[in-house]
Structure 1
């Protein structure tokens, strides 16, 4: 009996040994795969490495800073030494001037022998009468002019000549890539300018225009750092190249950032000819829409805006018209078909202003 129990004990020990060997083998085989599963689980919850694309504003800012490293240090006017000596807080009306001989010509009306000087003198006279506190800045290419014509531009006390071959901090570099019609936008970067109005050389300044400007300058309009006027059936763009204004004193940093693309050659070179208007609508419109005082005679419902404060003095004398359009008792040069302006674009107490 003793031998029988002894044999059973031995068999039991062998069984235990077999079980132990099996368990060790199982662990050796299964643990690595379990470890892999755990690792895979950890990998599954790893934070994804996402690369975000730059916005258009970020790309513009990066490109601008690459070209103009010392932009924040600029402390001169973007015109001339004469404009610098006028001091800060300037109110500026800005125009571009260039003749047929200039490579920037896109308007055959501009000729040194016929139109440039007469248009210029009339504009200066109108400013003296209607906006005496403002300075006319002339961003000009004198190519094709005579010595006496060049001297004539410097005779007026309310005029600053900005020679595009000698702009402070830029020299002649801007002339190489900046489209002619966009020269007049340069005061937007000028630390000495508080208010800027972009204007056309061949368009008169009228009381109907200046009364809207005075309203824009008032304290009630402080939230509106932009001014827009549209006064013709063909004025269907949100911003017209020669009928807008900017209040730098109200939003200088914002306005500078908005207009930075115009100083990036790879961008602005796509806007030659009549491209100034397209540039404004591509890069400026969406940023100023809700901060603009707008006057409109035909598209106030579609584009936004309010009626003008007074009626046109004569047919064809609209803001932005080409001379001679406002200097006759009856405009004998007006040949367009008269189109009534929508009721929505007329003052509520002057619905009888059929043609605004």
Structure 2
């Protein structure tokens, strides 16, 4: 069992602490164990407003309530648990592991954290978490970057296996995600420039 800290949107926590086994999420729809469960780490979950939940509450209760109220992410259960209104930077990552594209990902993750606070970075990938060197790399990223969601293109929630599609298209599935309010699609080898950040902020301020 892991421990999760459940925090309401108004900042209160009350008695909203509970134990959960993340595998129960996946038993509900028969998918593979979630990446965070495989990595033996956990995340803080913020309960979206308007969910009908009874006490005691489990991770699966929250997940199912979000799905029935707001919809299912086109990434993962972890992405769904973030709830509606997400701001997402979406990238595809593919090719022989490791290579220069994989090497640059930690830098982009850090740039998103510092330059786009409040945004989530999604990484649509085809790595196999059952291969130890893949798992070690993915788990390090997932467990040290709470703003990162890993989306296995062979097992996307709401979509299933899209591995037959072009790799550069993977990152585009964010467009159909009902939980996403704003998104941007980027290349995995392009650093984020300050002028880009300024342009994005100008776009957000325009309310268009």
> Residue by residue, what CA displacement relative to the aligned partner does 1:188-246 show, whole Å, maximum 9, x if unpaired?
1000001110001110012110000000001x352xxxxxxxxxxxxxxxxxxxxxxxx
More strand per residue: 1 or 2?
Answer: 2
Structure 1 residue 74: Cα displacement:
8.8
What are the ranges of 5 or more consecutive residues in structure 2 without an aligned counterpart?
1-68
After TM superposition, list the pairs within 5 Å mapping 1:119-268 onto structure 2: 119-142=104-127, 146-155=134-143, 156-172=145-161, 174-176=162-164, 178-218=165-205, 220-222=206-208
Determine the structure 1 residue equivalent to 2:23.
none
Task: Give the secondary structure class of the aligned counterpart of 1:154.
Answer: helix
Determine the structure 2 residue equivalent to 1:88.
84
Determine the structure 2 residue equivalent to 1:7.
none
Determine the structure 2 residue equivalent to 1:350.
none
Taking a change above 3 Å as real, the CA distance of residues 170 and 221 of structure 1, as seen in their structure-2 partners, is closer
Structure 1 consecutive aligned stretches of length 4 or more whose deviation exceeds 4 Å: none
C-alpha distance in 2 between matches for 1:79 and 1:146: 18
Taking a change above 3 Å as real, the CA distance of residues 74 and 207 of structure 1, as seen in their structure-2 partners, is same
Task: Give the secondary structure class of the aligned counterpart of 2:163.
Answer: helix
Contact 2:93 2:102 in 1 (8 A): no
Larger radius of gyration: 1
What are the ranges of 5 or more consecutive residues in structure 1 without an aligned counterpart?
1-72, 101-111, 223-356
Contact 2:70 2:83 in 1 (8 A): no
Structure 1 residue 113: Cα displacement:
2.6
RMSD (CA atoms): 2.0
Normalization by structure 2: what TM-score? 0.61
Count residues with an aligned counterpart: 136
> Residue by residue, what CA displacement relative to the aligned partner does 1:162-189 show, whole Å, maximum 9, x if unpaired?
10111112222x222x211011010110
